[in-house]
Structure formats: structure tokens, C-alpha cells
Amino acid sequence: MADPYKVLGVSPSATDEEVKDAYRKLAKKYHPDQYADSPLAELAGEKMKEINEAYDTIVAQRKNRTAGGYASAGGYGHVRGSGRSGFSDVRSYIMAGRIADAEQLLNGVPVESRNAEWYFLKGSVLYRRGWLEEAKEHFTRACQMDPGNPEYQAALNQAMNQRSGVYGGYNPNMNTNVGGCNTCDVCNSLICADCCCECMGGDLIPCC
Amino acid sequence: MFGYVRPFKGELLVKEYDAYKGVYCQLCRAIGDHYGALARLALSYDCTFYALLALNQKNASVRAEKKRCTCNLMKKCTYVCPANGDGYSEACFHKAAALCVIMTVHKLRDNIEDESFFKGLAARLLCGLSGRAMKKASADYPFMAEAVQRMMDAQHAAEHAERVSIDACSAPTAELLETLCQELGETEADKAVLGQLGYFLGRWVYIMDAADDLPEDLRKKNFNPFVEKLGLSAYLGGDLPQEQRDAADRECNAVLNGSLARMRPAVNLLPEGEFTGIIENILNLGLPEMQREILFLHIKEKKHGRSV
């Protein structure tokens, strides 16, 4: 394995705090949440594993504490295998990264039997191809046809968050685009956290 | 490419600013050396970014050197030159120089098609003069010329399709940059990262250009994908009312943010090199700043004295 200090980009003389700081920065950079449905998820996962191992090694070497932070960089994405799905073959293609095959199957479905799930899956295919606007329209349609579905809602929420500038870009409601955190950020983050909780079955803000 | 891919100066380190300028100057020199003095007019910020990306990919060996400016003999500039005998960095500048020439000539040809005879006269003249440079650049990097030609054809098809969509219209430019960036990588993993970066950068550039041109395209009744998306065809031939203008700017900004969000993973996975700081500055700060300047501050219009 590579020198764990080199992996984290700190010198061996760095304090525990500095090591932790470097680890946190890198962990944030490669956190799987950012790579949802990105073809680069696997690469980021490898990086994450590398820095996790490096951090664990350093901590073990220094015999201070056990490692905290992110346990593993498991796959994360909108599309999951689902027992009750009418499109299980499409789902398995998408999960395997065979986007063209998935799209071909989807396009073969006659217009009258295109349900909410069809729109969601087509949206996922478009999203992966980088056709973000049409993906958003398909997610919206899926949510309209099946309003209570957390899977479709999570996909739409992410598309909307990306457009709002949460994941980079320019947010006109913010006074500055260089760092800082204002009240608007706080609300946005809370709403985001609430959405995340809700799609996992919990609830952070009971009123929304 | 259209000059939207620039660093955010306020957040650059002084040494990074110097390095950026040095690469810009060296690219100007490389264009002159390979394609003649006139071709220097094709120099652009976008191609400087391409040179930086290429140099950073393999930690090219470069050194700073003070020389006279190629355009202003009174001025001395610091160039970031390829170190003696470093073929890789030489190739980076050569490639970026060829890209400048090819992109500019295609842009000129595009203008000739769009404009009336007299307005297109200047473009026609330049196009004729640049024929040799274009031929040489295409021969040096055939994959580049092919990719640009493919982009032009696909663009034409997308703009004349029955159903116009932002995604379909931006795809040719996105795929062009995907090809160009991918070519810089060596391993499969590098190519995957660079390909994603290129795709969403190209998408961003096309959409930024479309958003920037929207008011003028409406006035002149030119094609613009946002006209259909935002349902603005009623305003063709005139000015947008302030309220619609603001709404359009916000919508364009949201579409651009979407592209940047998808580009971020690839930016994080770029290799650490001499120019990583500048590249991250350009992509993470420079592009959002461009959105702010064009869509919210309307800097260009203020420069031209038009009221906002």
C-alpha cells in the first residue's frame, strides 16, 4: 500500500488534528453522495477506500482512537433493484451501466402503457447520459403520476437541488459565491437533510 | 468555443495568476510558430484551459522564461515554456494551438452562413486567409478536425429537428469536448474522468453561449434553443420585458448549475499536478462567476452602453 501520509497529503509530523482535517476534506470530496448516478462513482469509491485505509493505518499507528468517519463507500444511486418492479430487466441494465440497452427496452414500451415507473426509469437513463433537462421533466412526470413514491421524489429533489446551486454553480440568492454560510444556506441544508431523512423513512422537520 | 472558460482572478494565488498568464503567452507563441502570425488572432481563454488540462495530466516539465512579447516589442513577458527536450509539453501547446485554429475557422464559416453577404465579408476574407493554417492544423491532428466537423453536422441537425430541446442542442458541443478531453488521458480511468469533465464543460459552454445571446437572438429572430424552452416566441423581433428577462435569466442559471453539479465529481478526480489549483479555480469559481456576470450583472450590455 502507498504511504498513508502521502495519500492524505500531510507530513508524518502532522498533528492528529491535522491528519483528521485532511481526512475530512478528502472524505467530503469523494463522498458517494456526490457521485450518485455518476459513471465515476466506482473511481470515487476506490479513492474513498484508499483514504479510509490510509486514515485507519495512521490512527492505528498512532494508537490513539479507533477510526471514525465514513465506514464504507458503498454504491449509491437512485435506481435500485426492486422486487415489485414491472421493469426489473431495465433496472438491472441501468445498475450494470448498460444505458443504451436500458433505453432500447424503454423505448419499446408502447405509449399507452408508460406508467410512473417508466418515466422515472427513462429519466434516470437521460440523467446518466447528461440530458439533465429532459431527465428533470421525466422525474416531474413520474412524481405527478405517483405522488407518494419516495424513489421518484428523491430523484426529482436531487435534480432540483443541482439546479439551485447546492452542488456548485451560482446561486443568485447568495450575496457571495466565495465560501461563507448565510441564513439561506442554513435553510437549504435543513431542507436537504429533511429530504434525505424522508426518503429513508425518517423525518427531520415534521411540518414539511 | 467562446471565451467563457476563465479563472476567477480574485481567488487565484499570485503565482497561479503568473503561471496562467505564462501559459497564455506561450500558447500565443506556439500558434505563431506552427500556424503563422495571423493565426495568433485565434488565441482564446478556452484553448488556454485546454493547454492547462493537457499539461496537468502528466506533470509536464516546464520552466518560466522572460522574453519579448510577440505583439508588443516594448513589453517583456514571462512565458511558461516547455523545458528543453520535453516532447510532451511541446505537444500540449501544439495541440492547443491547433484547436484554436480549427475552432476559429469553423466559427468563421458558421458566421458566413448566418450573416448577409456584406456583413459576412470580413469573415469571408479571414476565412480565405486562414485556409493554409486550417489545412496544416487538420493534418497535424486529424482526430480534432474530424470531431469538430462531426459537431458542426450534428449541431445543424439538432437545430433543425422537429422538436428542439436544450439537451439535444447542447449534445454536439458536449460530445466534442468529451472527445477532445478524453484524448488527453492515458488509462481507462483517466479517460473516464476527462470524458465526463469534457461532456459537462461542453454542455455548460453551449448553454452559456445560448443564454448570453438570447436577447440579441430574439431581436434578430435568430435560432436559440431557449426561445422554445421558455415559450418566448411571442417576443421574437423585439425586446423582452424586464419581468420575463429576469425569469429567463434565472432559468438559464438553473440549467447551467445542473451541468456544473454533474461536472464536480470529475473535477474532484483530476490528478494532482502543477496546475490543479488553476484548473479547479476555473471550473469551480470561474464558471459560476461567468454566470453571475452575464446573467445577473449584464456586464457586456453595460459595456456597450445599452440600458439594462
Question: pLDDT 10s per residue in chain B (308 long)?
Answer: 478 999 999 999 999 999 999 999 999 999 999 998 888 888 999 999 999 999 999 877 788 888 888 777 778 888 888 887 788 888 999 999 999 999 888 888 877 776 667 667 777 777 777 788 888 999 999 999 999 989 988 988 988 888 888 999 999 999 999 999 999 999 998 999 999 999 999 999 999 999 998 998 899 888 899 988 888 888 888 888 888 889 999 999 999 999 999 999 899 899 888 899 999 999 999 999 999 999 998 877 766 654 43
Task: Specify whether the CB–CB gap between A37 and A124 falls below 8 A.
Answer: yes
Tens digits of residue pLDDT in A97-144: 888 999 999 999 898 889 999 999 999 999 998 999 999 999 999 999
Give the angle subtended at the CA of B4 by the CAs of B1 and B6, to the nearest 5°: 120
Closest residue in chain B to residue A7, using alpha carbons only: B272
Task: Specify whether the CB–CB gap between A121 and A89 falls below 8 A.
Answer: no
Instruction: State whether A169 and B192 contact (CB < 8 Å).
Output: no
Q: What integer pLDDT is reported at residue A191 of this predicted model?
A: 65
Instruction: State whether A172 and B193 contact (CB < 8 Å).
Output: no
Nearest to A191 by CA among A178, A171, A207: A207
Q: What integer pLDDT is reported at residue B25 of this predicted model?
A: 92
Nearest to B34 by CA among B113, B92, B119: B92
Q: What integer pLDDT is reported at residue B119 of this predicted model?
A: 67
Q: What integer pLDDT is reported at residue A195 of this predicted model?
A: 61
Instruction: Provide mean pLDDT across the span A12-38.
Output: 82
Nearest to B211 by CA among B229, B197, B235: B229
Q: What integer pLDDT is reported at residue A180 of this predicted model?
A: 46
- With a cut of 80, say whether residue A182 has pLDDT above it: no
Task: Specify whether the CB–CB gap between B235 and B163 falls below 8 A.
Answer: no
Nine-digit cell at B79? Answer: 512565458
Instruction: Provide mean pLDDT across the span A155-159.
Output: 90
Q: What integer pLDDT is reported at residue A64 of this predicted model?
A: 47
Partners of residue B292 in chain A, C-beta under 8 Å = 170, 172, 177
Q: Is A167 part of the contact surface with chain B (CB cutoff 8 Å)?
A: yes
Nine-digit cell at A157? Answer: 429533489
Residue whose C-alpha cell is 459513471: A39
| Three-state DSSP class for residue A146 | coil
Task: Specify whether the CB–CB gap between B121 and B129 falls below 8 A.
Answer: no
Q: What integer pLDDT is reported at residue A68 of this predicted model?
A: 38
| Three-state DSSP class for residue B65 | strand
Instruction: Write down the mean pLDDT value for chain A.
Output: 78
Partners of residue A155 in chain B, C-beta under 8 Å = none
Closest residue in chain A to residue B178, using alpha carbons only: A130
pTM, two decimal places: 0.79
Nearest to A47 by CA among A67, A61, A29: A29
Task: Specify whether the CB–CB gap between B213 and B226 falls below 8 A.
Answer: no
